[in-house]
Amino acid sequence: MKLYYAPGACSLSPHIALREAGLPFELIKVDLKTKQTETGEDYRRINPNGYVPCLVLDDGRNLTEGPAIVQFIADQAPEKGLAPAAGDFARYQLQQWLNFISTEIHKSFSPLFNPAAGDDAKALARQILQARLTTVAEHLNHSPYLLGERFSVADIYLFVTLSWASYVGLDLAPWPALQHFAARIGQRPAVQAALRAEGLLPRS
């Protein structure tokens, strides 16, 4: 498999999931401004949307959109327990969290990274983020992971979005549960390996 990524972007979520699952894969970096890959390809021919992630399977099929990709990865290594089995009610809870993170947290960060977004748009995004992060923090006050005692790909996705806070000047201090969660997830060996591979941590 090939994972097309940009350092620190939402593609970090499937990158970590691949390492947690222990699956073989190739990383290919994408320049999101030029839409060129590090191998000289026009990325839009691989993913017409032009954004990451994109997972290309060995048979040439591909998947885009992080929530779909991480579930696919989890299902390739069910013994790792990264997602509940299909049909289990907990699987729908996983999808509920993945959708919440995608639409309420991930997308609310977007204006804060967009230089074209005005001050009003950014202020509204921060207001929405504060409300949504409070919701997650209240849940994590009573549970180590989003699915209770079970670590899953939803926790990986949440960790990645929380990592963006420092880039946009969003202080997580009002939510100690989120700080503790991010610190715990950040110490997992697969997370450390992915961060190093993307140049986000010094190589040991």
Q: pTM for the whole thing? A: 0.97
The amino acid occupying position 35 is: K
pLDDT tens series, the chain, 204 aa: 999 999 999 999 999 999 999 999 999 999 999 999 999 999 999 999 999 999 999 999 999 999 999 999 999 999 999 999 999 999 999 999 999 999 999 999 999 999 999 999 999 999 999 999 999 999 999 999 999 999 999 999 999 999 999 999 999 999 999 999 999 999 999 999 999 999 998 765
Tell me if 101 sits within 8 A of 164, measured CB to CB.
no
Q: Does domain 89-188 have CATH number 1.20.1050.10?
A: yes
Q: Enumerate the CATH 1.20.1050.10 domain ranges in the chain, comma separated.
A: 89-188
* Exposure string over 167-186, b if 16+ CB within 10 A, otherwise e: eeebebeebebbbebbeebe
CATH of domain 2-81+190-197: 3.40.30.10
pLDDT at residue number 120: 97
Q: Enumerate the CATH 3.40.30.10 domain ranges in the chain, comma separated.
A: 2-81+190-197
CA 75 to the chain's CA centroid: 17
